[in-house]
Amino acid sequence: DAKTTQPNSMESNEEEPVHLPCNHSTISGTDYIHWYRQLPSQGPEYVIHGLTSNVNNRMASLAIAEDRKSSTLILHRATLRDAAVYYCILIISNFGNEKLTFGTGTRLTIIP
Amino acid sequence: GAVVSQHPSWVICKSGTSVKIECRSLDFQATTMFWYRQFPKQSLMLMATSNEGSKATYEQGVEKDKFLINHASLTLSTLTVTSAHPEDSSFYICSARGGAQGETQYFGPGTRLLVL
């Protein structure tokens, strides 16, 4: 599986935008970029995913570099509830056999 | 939509007993369910993948006779930890995918197991 690299931790002030980077230099053409987050003592929560184009949903935006070797998850206005570990994961769309391989993720701390 | 539940949310048991954890997809049919384990301050580790009606596929190093997985319907999978020991104490999390959800996996809230 192609590997991703994320910073171990980041801090951000409440109500400010947060940009969480992810490097995936060995990504292949069929790999989707997925982001999940895990709040303390909970199961992971799906955030967003994309293939080539930037994506927006109610939770966040995903900016994908033109060469697809990196991506950035954008939280437009961080709240205390956004404090979590954020995982960037590559998945080959194989309709039935995709496995998620969780790395260490980025622990996001929100400062009130 | 895309809600996955787990039961129980936490369990304490004596060493040597068996514990069953249920995972249900509440509003979609899950053709595939996954079971993960997470130790404190570590990331999630995939234990096994199960497709409805067939035997589970276990990851390397996971004992299939110790962690019994059943996926008898499109909305229910169970994980049974047989003859549990203190080293099996962990946070067990299931996820499900299927139908309109595509390749996205949706996770349950997790079950915290403590073996005394």
The structure tokens 């799906």 sit at A46
d(CA B47, CA A63): 31
d(CA B91, CA B83): 17
Quote the percentage of chain B above a pLDDT of 70: 96
Q: How far is A15 from chain B (nearest CA, A)?
A: 27
- Give the nearest partner residue to A95 out of B95, B103, B106, using CB atoms: B103
Q: Does B60 touch chain A (CB under 8 A)?
A: no
Q: Which residues of A touch B44 (CB under 8 A)?
A: 38, 44, 100, 102
Contact A91 B34 (CB under 8 A): no
HSE-up of A64 (CA within 13 Å, CB side)?
A: 22
Q: Which residues of B touch A42 (CB under 8 A)?
A: 109-110
Closest chain A residue to the Cα of B43, Cα to Cα? A104
Q: How far is B77 from chain A (nearest CA, A)?
A: 16
Residues of chain B where predicted confidence (pLDDT) is lower than 50:
none
Tens of pLDDT, residue by residue over B37-54, are: 999 989 999 999 998 888
d(CA A109, CA A71): 20
Contact B42, B31 (CB under 8 A): no
User: Can you give the pLDDT of all 112 residues of chain A as single tens digits?
Assistant: 568 999 999 999 999 999 999 999 989 888 899 999 999 999 999 999 999 999 999 999 999 999 999 999 999 999 999 999 999 998 876 555 677 888 889 999 999 9
d(CA A9, CA A108): 6
10 Å CB burial of residue A89 (0-12, 13-18, 19+) is buried
The structure tokens 């987050």 sit at A37
Q: DSSP assignment of B9-58, as one string?
A: SEEEE-TT--EEEEEEESSS--SEEEEEEE-TTS--EEEEEEETTS--EE
Residue A95 is predicted with a pLDDT of 57
Contact B93, B36 (CB under 8 A): yes
Q: Is the bond preceding B8 in cis, omega lying within 30 degrees of 0?
A: yes
